[in-house]
Amino acid sequence: EYVLTQSPGTLSLSPGERATLSCRASQIVSNSYLAWYQQKPGQAPRLLIYGASTRATGIPDRFSGSGSGKDFTLTISRLEPEDFAVYFCQRYGSSSSLSFGGGTKVEIK
């Protein structure tokens, strides 16, 4: 079974601080087929990053993705009030490899 483990479960930070979120895969993610989403309460997820490091259309440059192999990171350089949300990673590629991580909640400290 392919598993994506996100850590920490909750990140308590203040506006203006840097957020570093981790996503670790149980198997190598081929071609860096790793995406990140942001989800706010009562809303659908929004695509932030695909291909591990490519920002989706309209995503501010304070969001950046990095990593390869099994270890990936989403960094928010300076938290804005609207960035407090839950973040999910997703492995993609073939249908058998389409899975999501459990999420990291970024909350206001």
Partner 1 sequence: QLQLQESGPGLVKPSMTLSLTCAVSGGSISGHSYFWGWIRQPPGKGLEWIASIYFSGNTYYNASLKSRLTVSVDTSKNQFSLKLSSLTAADTAVYYCARHYYGDTYFDHWGQGTLVTVSS
User: Where along the sequence are the contacts to partner 1 (CB under 8 A)?
Assistant: 33, 35, 37, 43-47, 50, 56, 88, 90, 92-96, 98-103
Query: Nearer to partner 1 by C-beta: 73 or 97?
Result: 97
Q: In angstroms, what is the minimal distance from the CB of 1 to partner 1?
A: 10
Q: In angstroms, what is the minimal distance from the CB of 43 to partner 1?
A: 8
4-7: strand order across its sheet: 4-7, 19-25, 71-76, 63-68
Query: Nearer to partner 1 by C-beta: 9 or 81?
Result: 9
Q: In angstroms, what is the minimal distance from the CB of 98 to partner 1?
A: 5
Q: In angstroms, what is the minimal distance from the CB of 93 to partner 1?
A: 7
Tokens of 81: 């009030």
Query: Nearer to partner 1 by C-beta: 35 or 79?
Result: 35
